[in-house]
C-alpha cells in the first residue's frame, strides 16, 4: 500500500496564483521520501494541504489508504507533522507544550512522562525545557516541532524542511533515527530545496517545480536522470536545487554579479 496517493492536486491562491498545478504522486510505505524543488516550487503548499491547514482547489488524496475529505482529519492520530509555519502555543514552555501534545493523543500519564523526558534528552532540550517557546532559537523551535511530531509514535511523518537550522551533529542523529523508524515501518516524507542535502538519505525523491511534478525516481538513479533526461529548459529552471553538483561558472545563474563589486 502507498502511504500517500495524490491525484491531480491543484491549489490556487487568490484565484490566480497556481502554487500546485495538476500534481500527482504516489509515496510508498516504510520509506524515506524527499520532495525537492527550488524556492516557491509548491512544496509547503502540498504539505499544508496534506496536513489540512489549507484547502485544495481541485484534486484528491489518500493518507494511509483513507480518502481525505474536507474537515475529515481523524487520520491525524497516525500522522506527525512539521510545517513551515508551526502552530506553537508560544506562551507555553517547551516541556508544557510537549506534555500538551502528548495529552491530546490521550497517552497514559506514565507514558507521557517517559516519552517527553526521552525526547527532551534526545533533542538536547533538557536545559531549555522550562523556556517559553517564543524565546527559543530557530533551531530549538525546529527540534520542539520534531519532538511533538514524533511523540505519539505516528505511522507517517510529514516534515517540511525538518533539518533547516539544526546543527550538523543533531542532523546526523535525527537522520539516523528517521532511518530506524523507516526500518520499523514508518513512512517519512520530507521536503528540501537542496537535493545534495537529502539525496543520500532518501530512498526515493520527487522533483517539483512551478507546482508540477518534474519526475519521481529512486535516489540511485537521480543523477543519471538529471543528466540524460531533462530538457535544457527544465535543467536551467532547476539549477538551484543541485547547484553543488555543477560548477557555478557553468550555470546561467552563476554569472550574476552585483554592480558595486
Give min distance, CB of 47 to ligand ATP, in A: 8
Residue 157, beta-bridge partner list: 80, 188
Say how far apart CA 238 and CA 40 lie, in whole Å: 12
Contact of 239 with 195, CB cutoff 8 Å: no
Cβ nearer to ligand ATP, comparing 98 with 198: 198
Nearest distance, CB of residue 185 and ligand ATP, angstroms: 28
The reply on whether position 139 binds ligand ATP by CB under 6 A is no
Q: What are phi and psi of 235, to 5 degrees?
A: -55, -50
Could you say which residues in the range 17-56 bind ligand ATP, by CB under 6 A? 17, 19, 37, 39-45
Hey, which residues between 144 and 173 contact ligand ATP (CB under 6 A)?
none
Interface size with ligand ATP, residues (CB under 6 A): 13
Three-state DSSP state, 28: strand
**What phi and psi, each to the nearest 5 degrees, are found at residue 167?**
-70, 155
- Regarding 99 and contact with ligand ATP (CB under 6 A), the answer is no
* CA angle centred on 17, ends 28 and 59, rounded to 5°: 40
User: Cβ(228)–Cβ(221) under 8 Å?
Assistant: no
Q: Which is nearer to ligand ATP, 40 or 52 (CB)?
A: 40
Q: Find the shortest distance in angstroms from Cβ 56 to ligand ATP.
A: 13
- List residues binding ligand ATP (CB under 6 A): 13-14, 17, 19, 37, 39-45, 193
Amino acid at each position: 500500500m502507498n502511504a500517500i496517493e495524490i491525484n491531480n492536486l491543484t491549489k490556487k491562491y487568490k484565484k490566480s496564483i497556481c502554487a500546485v498545478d495538476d500534481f500527482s504522486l504516489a509515496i510508498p510505505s516504510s520509506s524515506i521520501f524527499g520532495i525537492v524543488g527550488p524556492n516557491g516550487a509548491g512544496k509547503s503548499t502540498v504539505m499544508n494541504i496534506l496536513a489540512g491547514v489549507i484547502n485544495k482547489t481541485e484534486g484528491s488524496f489518500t493518507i494511509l489508504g483513507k480518502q481525505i475529505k474536507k474537515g475529515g482529519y481523524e487520520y491525524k492520530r497516525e500522522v506527525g507533522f512539521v510545517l513551515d509555519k508551526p502552530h506553537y502555543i508560544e506562551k507555553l514552555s517547551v516541556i508544557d507544550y510537549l506534555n500538551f501534545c502528548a495529552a491530546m493523543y490521550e497517552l497514559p500519564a506514565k507514558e507521557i512522562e517517559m516519552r517527553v523526558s526521552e525526547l527532551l534528552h534526545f533533542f538536547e532540550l533538557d536545559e531549555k525545557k522550562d523556556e517559553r517557546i517564543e524565546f527559543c532559537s530557530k533551531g530549538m523551535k525546529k527540534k520542539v516541532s520534531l519532538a511533538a511530531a514524533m511523540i505519539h509514535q505516528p505511522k507517517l511523518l510529514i516534515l517540511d524542511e525538518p533539518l533547516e537550522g539544526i546543527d550538523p551533529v543533531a542532523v546526523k542523529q535525527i537522520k539516523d533515527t528517521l532511518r530506524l523508524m523507516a526500518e520499523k515501518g514508518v513512512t517519512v516524507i520530507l521536503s528540501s530545496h537542496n537535493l545534495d542535502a537529502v539525496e543520500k538519505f532518501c530512498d526515493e525523491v520527487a522533483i517539483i517545480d512551478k507546482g508540477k511534478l518534474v519526475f519521481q525516481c529512486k535516489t540511485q538513479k537521480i543523477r543519471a536522470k538529471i543528466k540524460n533526461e531533462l530538457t535544457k529548459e527544465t535543467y536551467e529552471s532547476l539549477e538551484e536545487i543541485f547547484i553543488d553538483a555543477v560548477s557555478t561558472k557553468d550555470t546561467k545563474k552563476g554569472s550574476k554579479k552585483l554592480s558595486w563589486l
